Amino acid sequence: MDLPERVRTVHADAWEAQGRLRERSGGAVGEVHGVRLVATGIAALELNGGDVTAADADLAGARAFFAGRGVDWSLRVPAAMGWEHGRRFRSLRLMGLEAGAHGHRPEPVPGLELRRAVGHDIDAVLAIDAIAFGADPGPQGAWWAPMLGAGETVTVVLAELRSEPVATGYAVHTDGRAGPAVHLGGIGVLPAARGRGIASALSAWLLDEAWRRGAQLAELHADSTAAARIYARLGFFEAGALDVYVDV
């Protein structure tokens, strides 16, 4: 498995961890030829889907998996695979970082405190997520709440600037097909607090914990060029893309 494939596999391992985390509320994982399948129990298109590993994937089997759960779904396909099914919805710009290959260490941010978020922080986490990403805090509650109580599987971090919550993000810790690894996601900063290095500090905090726990590879997808620049300064390398397909 080459390095870009390992990065893609970490992404799929993290989705599998999310599905297993949510099994009591409708989440599920499965696999058919060429597709790793995950349902989260949340009726949102991009929160139910599969990671394609072979061009001759069993699409009938994937359809049957989701039909029984009554949710819309999507497929994440390596951009270089040459896929001809469904409609391309968006692309995920993947980046990876190997343990020991750190880039620039973020400067301390005056007045910033970083800590692990717990259950009673849910309102602060949802408020930041809603503003930073323009998300509806109602449905997002079903996404974030299980992660706040996930124990060792997921770490949610809350950043407070002079005691005011300003940023959040999470890490999914995995030891699946890609080996010990971590996926970073949901890293959002309130507009008024941007430009101070908070996203870098928060990401570095999550990475430090992951390395301490034995992760050998970190993975994320950058939502913008500005975000990609932040992660590149931390040492992340470009690892290709996953194209998201719907109506498959």
**Mean of pLDDT values over 72-92:** 96
Tell me the DSSP string of 1-39. --HHHHHHHHHHHHHHHHHHHTGGGTEEEEEETTEEEEE
Percent of the chain with pLDDT over 90: 90
Express each pLDDT in 124-152 by its tens digit.
999 999 999 987 777 789 999 999 988 89
**Mean of pLDDT values over 228-236:** 96
3-state secondary structure (DSSP) of residue 59: helix
Question: Could you tell me which of 30, 7, 27 has the C-alpha nearest to residue 174?
Answer: 7
Q: What is the pLDDT of residue 148?
A: 95
At 216, list the tokens.
């050998």
Given 3.90.79.10, 3.40.630.30, 1.10.357.10, 3.30.110.30, which CATH number is that of 97-240?
Answer: 3.40.630.30
* Boundaries of every domain in the chain: 3-93, 97-240
The neighbour count for residue 243, using CB atoms within 10 Å, is 18
Express each pLDDT in 198-231 by its tens digit.
999 999 999 999 999 999 999 999 999 999 999 9
At 82, list the tokens.
């040459």
Q: What is the distance between the alpha carbons of residues 231 and 213, in angstroms, rounded to a whole number?
A: 21
Q: What is the distance between the alpha carbons of residues 136 and 215, in angstroms, rounded to a whole number?
A: 32
Question: Could you tell me which of 21, 15, 22, 7 has the C-alpha nearest to residue 37?
Answer: 15
Tell me the DSSP string of 151-171. TTSEEEEEEEETTEEEEEEEE
Who contacts 100 (Cβ-Cβ below 8 Å, separation ≥6)? Answer: none
Contact 111, 126 (CB under 8 A): no
Question: Could you tell me which of 132, 110, 220 has the C-alpha nearest to residue 170?
Answer: 220
Handedness of CA 198, 203, 207, 209 (dihedral sign): positive
Contact 87, 246 (CB under 8 A): yes
Q: What is the distance between the alpha carbons of residues 242 and 14, in angstroms, rounded to a whole number?
A: 15
Flag whether the pTM goes above 0.85. Answer: yes
